[in-house]
Amino acid sequence: MFTSLAKRLTLGVGAAMVAGTIACGSGPATAQTVITYADWQLAQDIWGRSLREAFAEFEKQNPGIKINVEPVALAQRDIKFATAIRAGAGPDVFALDANPVKQYIAEGWVKDLTPFVDKEGGKKFLSDFYPRSLEPVTENGKVYGIPKNIVAMVMVYNEVMFKEAGITKVPETWDEFRVAMKKLTKATTAGGPIDQWGWTIVAAQAGFDLRSSVILRGFGADFLTPDWKKSALDTPQAKEAFKFIVDTIHEDKTMPPGVAQVDANAARRLLANKKTAVKIGTTWSLPEVSGMNPALDGWNVLKMAHIPQKKLDDKSVRSTLYQKSLFMNPNTKNPEAAWKLIKFMSDPPQMAKWFDDNLMLSARQSVNVSHKPITSSPYALTVAQEINRSAFLPLIPKWPEILETFRRNLQDAIAKSKTPDEALTNAHNQINAILARP
Amino acid sequence: MTKTHDIGDVSNDGTGTMRDNYKGYLFILPALLMLVVILGFPALAAFLQSFNLMWVAKPGFSLGAYRALVDDAEFLHSLFNTVVFVVVVVSSHLVVGLSIALLLNMDIKFKWMWRVVAILPWTMPDVIGGLVWRFMFDTLPGIVNSVLLRTHLTTEPVDWLGQPGLAFFAVILAESWRGYPYVMLILLAGLQSIPRQQYEAAELDGCSALQKFMYVTMPNLKHMFIISLVLDTVWESRLFGMVYSMTGGGPGYSSQILTLLSYKQYFQFFNVSYGAAMAVVLATVLFFISLPYLRLSMRQQI
């Protein structure tokens, strides 16, 4: 009886496996190589469309390779990638911004691309990329990723709202900025409650790094010492920057209430709906904000300016660099096909397309100086100028923990649980403790 | 005469033959394997990771993660928050769950419909529940502020999720709403199993409604109460999605509970040993909390 049951089970399972194999379409009939590409920008309309168009072109040029796309939410990106790669799986090719790259390299979650780069010409191949763009993706002389885009954070503002508020000069110092924000904060209906504010910072986690760091840097401060070994939050400039944020919220009230919950998307939405007139952003803000509210006429109304400073004659770093790079999974079964895709995506034509579609500057110098839409764009000009006054956030594995410690303490100061000085001292001590850990 | 056995055949004493017992094990083997793979393996992996033995950049036995926990103010603060959160939420679940279970146990019209309505919050995934409540408490477009402003109960929008006390209160309120049906269902099952004769006898003795509740209902619900208390405590201690999607543990560290801190350390900071050590500590505490339930279940089985 048991033997017969086992036979039946074996036959059933076997039949199911055969059926499954046929249904999946695998087998010798199809010789196509399938690789997976994961990117948080796939989850957003405008960027996602642009990427899919690029993949269609790649598949046309490489008929033997098919790309499966895997959109991933930005907040879930590292969890998903880290878990999958640890388990021996994960996408063949994926995109990362600069922040977590050093952790990925330290953990062995990205493949060393040096042999592929060498085949393409080594140093000659890399010479077209901005030297700074190679910093996040290089470790001990090995190249782990290929830079795609690099931009600096700037001030994005609504020119019409500025004019309506009587602001004729774009603020260049924080004092001018503060005055302008007060002028912009008002009730749009006579006798009604205040329903328009000057600006907002991003105090929630998503997007905090790029947007809040520029205030610190604009005051001449920074998170860490230049060697990234100690906290630099005990400087008078850091105290001034920290107090500036808190004062604009509580004293000037030039930010909408609920700033602790404002993330990058919420800040865009506020600008799109004319609830605020200014945000910290960069070239991507234009398509994103315009897409959220076409009635705003963002492409004509929104302008870009440099990050304000404490003193005009200060020539030090005042903004933060953002970079998107492409990486290969060490578990990939198709490294050659994966490299083809990375190279295709970072070749000049695709870099140019990425600007045409999304206003994102290329990490290749040749594209930025020769692609007409870039050279004739005032936005690109502002951002390119700001790149020279920008720096990456610390490229160390402990950076995400340091950033979160700073953010939590800033939230405490915003919530008045601590005074700005207490919160900053707390952040300083906690960050030093993190850095002192082995 | 030799007696042959087939599947389902048991001997007269009800114990079955050795061969039948093996067949029984064979049938539960797939479920057992699934349990081992889905629950056992991650638990073992977390345990090994907490001692720096698995899936870490430089493996090697270390108690460092556990030692660090003792001096970590953020861990102790999150532990305190977890205790407050669990005590308040579980208490509210017991009070609200029992109240609604008593109502649904009465002879009311459309009883089935009220039961469906009462169970609805439980059908909502905690992350979705958190997002819904987050929108409700949003400072500008949120319905809570909208009602308060329109009824002139406040002149300025309240920053519900931006103030430490209010944010923690909001999270507790949201989870109290979402989780009560679980307790309610257990207690309702308990109420329905109380023999009607006991109430009839109490009525004959002239007991008031309160006396019937105190001396008939409550003693009969004792076991169900313990089960609800233990299971809900375990459930709420390991809650993640509701708090994560509502406040992310903020502002500052004000609504951060242990599961969030463990997640943060593990997935955001990649301090895998440290994050795993927190998870192991939490699991150990929950194991001891669940002992009364296990004892009760085993006693009932015996």
Domain assignment present for residue B264? The answer is yes
Scan for tokens 């774009």, then name that residue.
A170
Q: Does residue A378 share a domain with residue A355?
A: yes
Dihedral angle, C-alpha A95, A100, A106, A108, nearest 10 °: -30
Q: Which residue of B has its CA nearest to A196?
A: B140
pLDDT, tens only, A327-351: 999 999 999 999 999 999 999 999 9
Q: Does residue A50 share a domain with residue A107?
A: yes
As for how many domains chain A has, the answer is: 2
pLDDT, tens only, A354-399: 999 888 999 999 999 999 999 999 999 999 999 989 999 999 989 9
Share of chain A above pLDDT 70, in %: 93
Choose from B140, B261, B274 for mutation: most chain A CBs within 10 A. Answer: B140
Q: Does residue B285 share a domain with residue B194?
A: yes
User: What's the mean per-residue pLDDT of chain A?
Assistant: 91
A106 contacts in chain B (CB < 8 Å): 57
Nearest to A214 by CA among A241, A186, A192: A241
Residue B3's pLDDT is: 47
Look at A258 and B162 and tell me if their CB atoms are within 8 Å.
yes
B252 contacts in chain A (CB < 8 Å): 408-409, 411-412, 415, 417-418
Give B33's contacts (C-beta < 8 A, 6+ positions apart). Answer: none
Nearest to A275 by CA among A194, A179, A202, A197: A197
- Please give the Cα distance from A287 to A285 (Å, whole number): 6
Measured CA angle at B116 (ends B114, B122), to 5 deg = 125
Q: Which helix (H) or strand (E) holds B204?
A: helix B196-204
Helix H, strand E, coil C: the string for chain A is: CHHHHHHHHHHHHHHHHHHHHHHHCCCCCCCCEEEEEEEHHHHCHHHHHHHHHHHHHHHHHCCCEEEEEEECCHHHHHHHHHHHHHCCCCCCEEEEECCCHHHHHHHCCCCCCHHHHHHCCCHHHHCCECHHHHCCCEECCEECEEEEEEEECEEEEEHHHHHHCCCCCCCCEHHHHHHHHHHHCECCCCCCCCCEEEECCCCCCCCHHHHHHHHHHHCCCCCECCCCCCECCCCHHHHHHHHHHHHHHHCCCCCCCCHHHCCHHHHHHHHHCCCEEEEEECCCHHHHHHHHCHHHCHHHHEEEECCCECCCCCCCCCEEEEEEEEEECCCCCCHHHHHHHHHHHHCHHHHHHHHHHHCCCECEHHHHHHCHHHHCCHHHHHHHHHHCCEECCCCCCCHHHHHHHHHHHHHHHHCCCCCHHHHHHHHHHHHHHHHHCC
Q: Does residue B94 share a domain with residue B6?
A: no
Residue A168's pLDDT is: 94
- Residue A370 sits in a domain whose CATH number is 3.40.190.10
Q: Does residue A183 share a domain with residue A257?
A: yes
Q: Are A29 and A61 in contact (CB under 8 A)?
A: no
Residue B165's pLDDT is: 93
Q: Does residue A316 share a domain with residue A169?
A: yes
- For the residues B100-127, what does the mean pLDDT come to? 92
- Please give the Cα distance from A176 to A161 (Å, whole number): 16
Task: Looking at the complex, report in whole angstroms how far the Cα of residue B38 sits from the nearest Cα belonging to chain A.
Answer: 14
Look at B252 and A82 and tell me if their CB atoms are within 8 Å.
no
- Banded model confidence at residue A30, pLDDT cuts 50, 70, 90: low
- Banded model confidence at residue B57, pLDDT cuts 50, 70, 90: confident
Q: Does residue B136 share a domain with residue B276?
A: yes
Q: Does residue A264 share a domain with residue A142?
A: no
Residue A101 touches chain B, beta carbons under 8 Å: no
Q: Does residue A250 share a domain with residue A119?
A: no
Q: Are B134 and B119 in contact (CB under 8 A)?
A: no
Q: Does residue A355 share a domain with residue A340?
A: yes
pLDDT, tens only, A193-202: 899 999 999 9
Joined tokens for residue B19:
């061969």
Give Cα A367 distance to the centre of its chain: 21
Q: Does residue B219 share a domain with residue B116?
A: yes
Look at A415 and B161 and tell me if their CB atoms are within 8 Å.
no
- Please give the Cα distance from A320 to A323 (Å, whole number): 10
Residues 88-147 of B with CB under 8 A from A: 134, 138-140
Q: Give the range of the structural domain holding residue A272, as residue numbers without chain letter.
A: 154-320+394-436
Residue B297 touches chain A, beta carbons under 8 Å: no
- For the residues A138-158, what does the mean pLDDT come to? 96
A19-28, A183-192, A297-306, B88-97: range with lowest mean pLDDT: A19-28
Q: Are A321 and A387 in contact (CB under 8 A)?
A: yes
Choose from A96, A411, A424, A431 for mutation: most chain B CBs within 10 A. Answer: A411
Q: Does residue A346 share a domain with residue A222?
A: no
Task: Looking at the complex, report in whole angstroms how far the Cα of residue B124 sits from the nearest Cα belonging to chain A.
Answer: 21
Domain assignment present for residue B56? The answer is no
- For the residues B106-110, what does the mean pLDDT come to? 88
Residue A87's pLDDT is: 86
- For the residues B167-174, what does the mean pLDDT come to? 96
- Residue B220 sits in a domain whose CATH number is 1.10.3720.10
pLDDT, tens only, B182-221: 999 999 999 999 999 999 999 999 999 999 999 999 999 9
- Please give the Cα distance from A437 to B62 (Å, whole number): 15
Q: Does residue A336 share a domain with residue A242?
A: no
- Please give the Cα distance from B103 to B123 (Å, whole number): 20
Residue B269 touches chain A, beta carbons under 8 Å: yes
Look at B252 and A412 and tell me if their CB atoms are within 8 Å.
yes
Domain assignment present for residue B58? The answer is no
Peptide bond into A308 cis (omega under 30): no
pLDDT, tens only, A265-318: 999 999 999 999 999 999 989 988 998 999 999 999 999 999 999 988 888 899
Residue A1 touches chain B, beta carbons under 8 Å: yes
- For the residues A33-57, what does the mean pLDDT come to? 92
Residue B281's pLDDT is: 96
Task: Looking at the complex, report in whole angstroms how far the Cα of residue A21 sits from the nearest Cα belonging to chain B.
Answer: 23
Residue B59 touches chain A, beta carbons under 8 Å: no
B7 contacts in chain A (CB < 8 Å): 1
Scan for tokens 């309160």, then name that residue.
B210
pTM of the model: 0.85
Q: Does residue A89 share a domain with residue A137?
A: yes
Look at B254 and A257 and tell me if their CB atoms are within 8 Å.
no
Residue B267 touches chain A, beta carbons under 8 Å: yes
Residue A29's pLDDT is: 45
Q: Which residue of B has its CA nearest to A88?
A: B55
Of B7, B157, B252, the CB nearest to A257: B157
Domain assignment present for residue A4? The answer is no
Q: Does residue A280 share a domain with residue A176?
A: yes
- For the residues B55-81, what does the mean pLDDT come to? 91
- For the residues A59-86, what does the mean pLDDT come to? 92
Q: Does residue A178 share a domain with residue A199?
A: yes
Higher-pLDDT residue of B6 and A32 is A32
Residue A324's pLDDT is: 95
Domain assignment present for residue A28? The answer is no
- Please give the Cα distance from A356 to A376 (Å, whole number): 12
Residue ending a domain, among A376, A391, A406, is: A391
Q: Give the range of the structural domain holding residue B34, as residue numbers without chain letter.
A: 1-50
Q: Does residue B132 share a domain with residue B88?
A: yes
